[in-house]
A and B are shown apart, each in its own frame.
Chain A
Amino acid sequence: MDSEDEMNYDEEEEDSQEEDSNDEDFVDIAMEPEPSTASDSRETEDFQYEVLTADKIVHVMVECIKEVNAVVQIPATITRILLNHFRWDKEKLMERYYDGDQDSLFSEAHVVSPYRKDPRQKRSTRGSTSASTSESMCEICCLVIPHTDMAGLECGHKFCFQCWTDYLTSKIINEGMGQTISCAAYGCDILVDDVTVMDLIKDAKVRLKYQHLITNSFVECNRLLRWCPAPDCGHVIKVKHYDVKPVRCTCGHTFCFACGENWHDPVKCIWLKRWIKKCDDDSETSNWIAANTKECPKCHVIIEKDGGCNHMVCKNQNCKADFCWVCLGPWEPHGSSWYNCNKFDEDEAKKARDSQEKSRCQLQRYLFYCNRYMNHMQSLKFENKLYQAVKLKMEEMQQHSMSWIEVQFLKVAVDVLCSCRQTLMYTYVFAFYLSKNNQSIIFEDNQKDLEHATEQLSEYLERDITSELLVDIKQKVQDKYRYCESRRKVLLDHVHEGYERDTWDYQDGL
């Protein structure tokens, strides 16, 4: 490896004919893939995927380049840049490559066409052009450097090794650029390929960062790859075909391949995304608004009451409405002698309250779904504590003449409980965006049923487990979790069926 690294640049240029055959080696050297440690093939139903380590990803990347190179015979470094330009879509690259103006393709991707034989670039740095001088000034450090210590890309701009190293280091470390670093000359947009970077950079830290950047851009660009979103997990999921499916990483995290969020069946990715944004944006604010304010019955500006008197004068200068805080009706009929509102039945006050109600309705609706969603999320967090409690219980039961296999039902019960909670949590997101129709009523019934059963199961596991006879519990818990599981399946199947038949109506503009 090292002997290759030290290979001189000039020789590389002179050997460009042979380079093609060496390309595969170059890529391998450049990316330094370590022997792969783990790659699991997994399947759920008919959805196939693999969990890859970061090193394995490099192999995938190299494979991809080889595959293209087998067809278009150009240096691997150029293939890599072209592939990156097409977001690693092999078909698209091939199509453009054979189907159009290759020169414009190369210039679009910011590489010099390997077919262009411009004498300017072929000038040997060994001093054949100007026999008198074997050194020239590096335009970055302005020092006079022997040609043997200078390097450049196909564009012909040459700088000394030290300046290249500093330039690349600054781009990689400070600006986080990987595949998109261009030549250091002013106005030159030719990209620096990975082999050149690896040849010039010797610092292990910078090399590693560069590899990370390149791998990351490969994964981010590729539709069939996704980083596991769990903290500090460096694995990548590779799927056979893109689909909205749950995937489980070797670190144990299960998530939606399409959007990277926790697996969120039955709600779809786009609605979940909107929901999360909505929650992040305004859940706290709307909670506070709901608890502490009312709206002016005339101009609907939101008002916080900051004094004791019920006679409100709207501070909106264009409105200045006088109204009663209690009934929201106009203040006038209240007269000046009362501090108190007994005008409950009056029409006008009622109208004002109605309109207020309407404008609050949306907020109430959101809070309704939000609270339930949050509630299940919170409970789900607590259920993780339950695993601990259940483990103790299982040990205790084993001492009471039950076998290991006989007590496993408890763990299964907690598993079911968690998956039900997760499903329920997302049903509220689904329901929030749903318009009422016959199917939605069935859905709500299913939801109610599952929720009821889930809460019962939760109660069994949390309380009854300590009090009742073990044998009784076993029967009760097993029945309940089977019921929960079947209700969960019914609910999900119903939603999926609705997706297929297009029976769900959505409320827009929420």
Chain B
Amino acid sequence: MKGSLLGVLLSLAPLLTVFAQDFQFGVHNLEELDQKQYAADATANAVVLREFGTARISSGSRTPLIFDYHVRIKIFNSKGFDQGDVIIPIYKTDNDRFESVSQIKAVTISQDENGNISRTPLDEKKVYKENKNKHWDHVKFAMPNMRDGCIIEYSYQLESPYVFNFRSWIFQWDIPKVYSEYIASIPAVYNYNVALKGGQPLTTNKAELEKDCFNPGGGVKADCSKLLFAMKNIPALVEEDYMTAASNFRSAITFELSDYVEYNGYKRKVTQEWKDIDLELKKETLFGAQIKKTDLFKGRLEPVLQGTTDELSKAKAVYAYIQKSFKWNKSRHFYSEDGIKKALENHTGNVADINLSLLAALGAAGVDADAVLLSTRDNGIINKLYPVLSDFNYVVAKVNIGDNSYLLDATDPLLPFGLLPIRCINDQGRVVSLTKPSYWTDLKASQKESKIYSLKLELAETGKIKGTITGYSKGYEAYNKRSAIKDFNSVEEYVENLDEKMPRIKILNFDIKNLDSLENSVVETYEVEIDAYDNLNREQISFNPYFMDPIQENPFKLDKRSYPVDWGAPSDTRVNVVLVYPDTFELANKPGNVGLALPEGGGRYMASMEQEGNQLTVSQMTQLNKSIYLAHEYPALKELFNKMVQTQKVEVIFKKK
């Protein structure tokens, strides 16, 4: 999650160090072949012994970026064989601008039981290029003759016309690495912001000046800064459950072009300061220009705004209208695909098409609103040291009314006004206004995931329990509930399915309220009959008050965490059970109350039981107040769930009087 600016490297002093060279191809040593496991991580099925890469801007025609890559991997057992299925994704824009891979060389070196060493080179004819879709091709090959203990080695050259992100280098993989080294050779006519992501330290980080290395002709000449980054003993990145994007934690070097010098000597800024970006976004055809298209909505909004008086009711009407006007094509970006006009006509578009339409429509309705650029949870957290526009992948609207502001995303018709989908709740977003300078804003869930269940039950002498179950779902829970119901053909079929999932419980009648009124709680009422006991002709009966949906397993099984727990939205769950039992029985045990709280107000769990006459009341409350629990908070969180699982085993015993 850490981002550190390596800008210091860019002010160069010539160094005397001799730079490392690529290691020799296909030269193995017996020690590596004999290695049975990786000492630093005995759980590894494979380990990268050595990895070396260089990237430079060629002086050749159209000055493409040339990336040379070379890796040697030790495979301990067949579970590591997937390292031998190599895929190199390459990007393409059209027939003129595309990446290409050449000079693929690969060899498998293995040793049989008798110690005989064999080398099997890759057959060039067995390299395939798959046209994946409009923008991606996959160059694929499978390493030949792999067996337990073998070493695979391959190298290739990738040529790319895209220099904006230079070439990033992923230090940390899902298998460990002994040594990884990367040299980026950047001509002085280009200036990049360089960032180190993830938690692993660089073991080498140095720079040297290379004279006149860039000669594209036309009188242009430049020196290069040769930057060397290396890491030793990099552990594997092991993904954990409830983890936010692994990319937040994976160690890597990334680049973003900040400025470059054109042939005519003019220095063109690409990204540097927010004020530049603000201006760029404002002028951008697929961004600012779209938000200004308020005219598109003037006519359309007339019926929508009828009867609205204040700004808030106008904003709500416009939001509901845009939600209903689009079906999101699941594509995420902050730039419109082909303009909102076309998106409106087709009723579909990417996130920007929909939310820039929302902004334009709000503008047309006279509601003050700004765009908010953000990065979704799976896309990682934004580095705030300097602006990197390409880190963002989403845009939403922020409506300002008086002292209040509301964050709106119209891609999903089931979201209530002011509630962002969970995918957007990710640290901070950048508010971009057409009139004012941009600034950061918190992306917090405006509502919790909240549910309340109230059970009013009566145990009859027949052994059956009759009563009502009422559920109130708010915030994200209401959203989840509505989505679940929409997956069925009708509300009746949803209820039938619910009934079918609980063989002992029969739903006699039901009522579901506020399914379409998104700002209210979904209220479900079920009249039920539970086939609890064959009869009550016995000395004692036991009853588990948590029968409704008990937690039977702790979701947290690891002893300790390396990464934070991503809990989604803060949650609040309450269950209240009232059971009236026959006069002929009396309560034999009353389990004690349970209470447990997390430190720093992180959450709590409480369970209590009261008896009065022949009525038993059981209450349970679980609150988890954070979206993210840090690794050091994990043991307490795990223990909280532990307590819940244990408490819910409880059985109340009634004895015949």
Interaction A to B:
no
Residues of A in contact with B (beta carbons under 8 Å apart) = none
Residues of B in contact with A (beta carbons under 8 Å apart) = none
